[in-house]
Amino acid sequence: ETGVTQTPRHLVMGMTNKKSLKCEQHLGHNAMYWYKQSAKKPLELMFVYNFKEQTENNSVPSRFSPECPNSSHLFLHLHTLQPEDSALYLCASSQDGGSTQYFGPGTRLTVL
Protein backbone atom coordinates (compact mmCIF):
# COMPACT_ATOMS: atom_id res chain seq x y z
CA GLU A 1 0.00 0.00 0.00
CA THR A 2 1.15 3.50 -0.72
CA GLY A 3 0.05 6.93 0.45
CA VAL A 4 -2.67 7.32 3.05
CA THR A 5 -5.23 4.58 3.57
CA GLN A 6 -8.46 4.67 5.55
CA THR A 7 -10.77 1.91 6.74
CA PRO A 8 -13.61 1.32 6.55
CA ARG A 9 -14.58 3.27 3.43
CA HIS A 10 -18.25 3.26 4.45
CA LEU A 11 -19.84 2.98 7.88
CA VAL A 12 -23.46 3.03 9.01
CA MET A 13 -24.07 3.18 12.74
CA GLY A 14 -26.83 3.83 15.19
CA MET A 15 -26.65 6.59 17.76
CA THR A 16 -25.86 4.16 20.56
CA ASN A 17 -23.09 2.28 18.76
CA LYS A 18 -19.35 2.54 19.33
CA LYS A 19 -17.09 2.30 16.28
CA SER A 20 -13.60 3.36 15.23
CA LEU A 21 -12.14 4.80 12.05
CA LYS A 22 -8.59 3.88 11.13
CA CYS A 23 -6.00 5.79 9.14
CA GLU A 24 -2.53 4.61 8.14
CA GLN A 25 0.11 6.57 6.28
CA HIS A 26 2.96 4.93 4.36
CA LEU A 27 4.83 8.15 3.58
CA GLY A 28 7.15 8.37 6.58
CA HIS A 29 5.42 11.53 7.79
CA ASN A 30 5.26 12.62 11.40
CA ALA A 31 2.07 14.70 11.49
CA MET A 32 -1.48 13.38 11.01
CA TYR A 33 -4.86 15.09 10.82
CA TRP A 34 -8.58 14.35 10.99
CA TYR A 35 -10.99 16.48 8.93
CA LYS A 36 -14.77 16.44 8.61
CA GLN A 37 -16.32 17.16 5.21
CA SER A 38 -20.04 17.96 5.28
CA ALA A 39 -22.18 18.98 2.34
CA LYS A 40 -22.01 22.69 1.47
CA LYS A 41 -19.46 23.45 4.19
CA PRO A 42 -15.69 23.95 4.01
CA LEU A 43 -13.52 21.14 5.29
CA GLU A 44 -13.30 21.36 9.06
CA LEU A 45 -10.07 20.50 10.83
CA MET A 46 -10.83 18.32 13.87
CA PHE A 47 -7.53 17.12 15.32
CA VAL A 48 -3.80 17.37 14.64
CA TYR A 49 -1.11 15.06 15.92
CA ASN A 50 2.57 15.93 15.59
CA PHE A 51 5.06 13.26 16.65
CA LYS A 52 2.15 11.43 18.35
CA GLU A 53 1.27 14.45 20.48
CA GLN A 54 -2.07 16.16 19.98
CA THR A 55 -1.39 19.76 19.03
CA GLU A 56 -4.85 20.84 17.88
CA ASN A 57 -8.36 20.08 19.05
CA ASN A 58 -10.69 22.30 17.13
CA SER A 59 -13.54 22.41 19.68
CA VAL A 60 -14.66 18.93 18.71
CA PRO A 61 -17.38 17.29 20.86
CA SER A 62 -16.17 14.61 23.26
CA ARG A 63 -18.15 11.93 21.40
CA PHE A 64 -15.19 12.00 18.99
CA SER A 65 -12.02 10.65 20.59
CA PRO A 66 -8.74 10.50 18.62
CA GLU A 67 -5.86 8.14 19.28
CA CYS A 68 -2.38 8.20 17.75
CA PRO A 69 -0.34 5.20 18.93
CA ASN A 70 2.57 5.96 16.56
CA SER A 71 3.37 8.34 13.74
CA SER A 72 1.94 5.97 11.10
CA HIS A 73 -1.47 5.27 12.61
CA LEU A 74 -4.37 7.45 13.64
CA PHE A 75 -7.76 6.38 14.97
CA LEU A 76 -11.01 8.20 15.54
CA HIS A 77 -13.19 6.51 18.15
CA LEU A 78 -16.89 7.28 17.86
CA HIS A 79 -19.62 6.87 20.48
CA THR A 80 -23.17 8.15 20.92
CA LEU A 81 -23.05 10.11 17.69
CA GLN A 82 -25.84 12.30 16.33
CA PRO A 83 -27.35 12.26 12.83
CA GLU A 84 -25.66 15.61 12.11
CA ASP A 85 -22.30 13.84 12.49
CA SER A 86 -22.96 12.06 9.20
CA ALA A 87 -20.20 13.21 6.86
CA LEU A 88 -17.05 12.18 5.03
CA TYR A 89 -14.16 11.90 7.48
CA LEU A 90 -10.78 12.50 5.89
CA CYS A 91 -7.37 11.69 7.27
CA ALA A 92 -4.23 13.48 6.10
CA SER A 93 -0.53 13.40 6.85
CA SER A 94 2.44 15.71 6.34
CA GLN A 95 6.17 15.62 6.88
CA ASP A 96 6.02 18.41 9.44
CA GLY A 97 3.17 20.27 11.05
CA GLY A 98 3.29 23.10 8.54
CA SER A 99 4.03 21.37 5.26
CA THR A 100 1.97 19.92 2.42
CA GLN A 101 -0.81 17.59 3.52
CA TYR A 102 -1.66 14.37 1.70
CA PHE A 103 -5.14 12.95 2.08
CA GLY A 104 -6.66 9.50 2.30
CA PRO A 105 -9.84 8.45 0.45
CA GLY A 106 -12.08 9.09 3.45
CA THR A 107 -14.70 7.17 5.42
CA ARG A 108 -18.32 7.95 4.52
CA LEU A 109 -20.15 7.85 7.87
CA THR A 110 -23.93 7.67 8.19
CA VAL A 111 -25.50 7.96 11.64
CA LEU A 112 -29.07 6.68 11.85
Partner 1 sequence: AQSVTQLDSQVPVFEEAPVELRCNYSSSVSVYLFWYVQYPNQGLQLLLKYLSGSTLVKGINGFEAEFNKSQTSFHLRKPSVHISDTAEYFCAVSDPGSEKLDFGKGTKLTVNP
**Which residues contribute to the site for partner 1 (CB under 8 A)?**
4, 6, 31, 33, 40-43, 45, 48, 50, 55-56, 90, 92, 97-98, 100-106, 108
How does strand 10-13 pair with strand 107-111? parallel
Cβ-based nearer residue to partner 1, 78 or 92: 92
Cβ-based nearer residue to partner 1, 49 or 64: 49
CB of 96 to partner 1, least distance (A): 8
How many other CB atoms are there within 10 angstroms of residue 68's CB atom? 21
Q: Which residues of 19-55 are buried (b: 16+ CB within 10 A; e: fewer)?
A: bebbbbbeeebbbbbbbbeeeeeeeeebbbbbebeee
CB of 16 to partner 1, least distance (A): 28
Cβ-based nearer residue to partner 1, 17 or 56: 56
Q: Is 80 left (phi over 0), alpha (psi -120 to 50) or beta?
A: left
CB of 64 to partner 1, least distance (A): 18
